[in-house]
Amino acid sequence: MIYLSLVFFQVVAPILIMLGIGATMQLKFKLNLKALSNLITYCLMPAAVFINIYETKVNAGVLGQIISYLLVFSVCLMLLGSIVSKLLKLNRNQAAIYKNSIVLINSGNYGIPVSQLLFSANPLGTSIQIIIVIFQNIITYTYGLYNLISSTKSGLDILRSLLRLPIVHALILGALMNILDIGIPTFLRIPLDYLANAFISIALITLGAQLAQLDIKTIINKVILTSTIGRLVLGPILAFGLILLMGLDGVVAQSLFIASAFPTSRNSSTLALEYDVEPNMAAQIVLFSTVVSCITVTVVIYLSNILWG
């Protein structure tokens, strides 16, 4: 219990404080969230991704294990979302939101800061989270979009959306420079470090500001409750089983297990709003799962240290 409280106060509580600062700033000053989002997407996150990939050695065997795990894990979540949405007898729009809420995980401006705090002494942990971010973006702009607008979005449009993501370019460049052992001049490395170090604080403040402006009008219903249970409870249980089945261990197992407990991605709410598919329900799910994750992520981090620490 003592260690569990340490995990909360050393990892989760700092995140909550940053979210609170972001929410307060939004309520008081009405921050330009579009500008902040662009700053993160096109500047800070690519810098953080580049530096972490550049400094980390991930052998082909480990990379293959991670990708194999992510594929199986995601397919299982898709099946879970489809089955439960049918059991709940949801209409088409509600089912789309529900399935996205289970599969799309906030591995970017929630997951990476958590990983950087947890694995500050071991860059491999953060690099695995970055791989998960890339994978989640692919899932978002394929499966997530298909659920919402399967009849209006072509495969070519989806591919273009992916290729425009700066983190993809940063990942490729960082990996190439890592493999080829290309040095970074000091006059470039210093600003890159500044940008990468700024990512955690700006990302969490922005997330807090986004949560503060979500439109919450109804009480918690069966869709919100079951999606939160699916994302925060069943997700880690499924991940634990797959990790044991695939024989993963150490930092790899820890990183993947912890990543399975992150809340529903804000992108699920953004897409729902953009295409007008139950946007209020999607926003409520994001907010509720983020709040509850403060408890579940603490427990999962605690268990990961016991199992593979």
Q: Where are the domains of the chain?
A: 2-308
- Scored b (16 or more CB within 10 A) or e, 118-151 reads bbeeebbbbbbbbbbbbbbbbbbbbbbbbbbeee
Q: What is the pLDDT of residue 80?
A: 94
Q: What is the pLDDT of residue 151?
A: 43
pLDDT in tens, the chain (309 residues): 665 676 678 777 887 898 899 999 999 999 988 888 888 888 988 898 888 888 877 777 888 999 999 999 999 999 999 999 999 999 888 898 999 999 999 887 788 888 877 887 777 888 888 888 888 877 887 788 778 765 445 556 666 766 777 877 888 898 899 889 899 999 999 999 999 889 888 888 887 887 887 766 555 688 899 999 999 999 999 999 999 999 999 999 999 999 999 999 877 877 787 677 887 788 788 888 888 888 899 899 989 989 987
Q: What is the pLDDT of residue 201?
A: 87
Helix (H, G, I), strand (E, B) or coil at 163: helix
Cβ-Cβ contacts under 8 Å for 257 (sequence gap 6 or more): 236, 239, 240, 243, 300, 303, 304, 307, 308
Q: What is the pLDDT of residue 183?
A: 92
CATH topology of domain 2-308: Na+/H+ antiporter like fold (1.20.1530)
Q: What is the pLDDT of residue 71?
A: 96
The answer to whether 210 touches 169, Cβ cutoff 8 Å, is no
Residues 58, 60, 61, 64, CA torsion sign: positive
With CA atoms as reference, report the closest residue to 45 among 163, 150, 167, 133: 167
With CA atoms as reference, report the closest residue to 197 among 112, 128, 258, 118: 112
With CA atoms as reference, report the closest residue to 115 among 97, 127, 101: 127
Distance (Å, whole) CA 43 – CA 48:
9
Cβ-Cβ contacts under 8 Å for 304 (sequence gap 6 or more): 253, 254, 257, 258
Q: What is the pLDDT of residue 150?
A: 57
CA dist 128 → 31, 103, 117, 250, 259 (Å): 32, 18, 14, 12, 9
Provide the whole-model pTM: 0.80
Distance (Å, whole) CA 144 – CA 74:
12
Q: What is the pLDDT of residue 152?
A: 47
Q: What is the pLDDT of residue 67?
A: 92
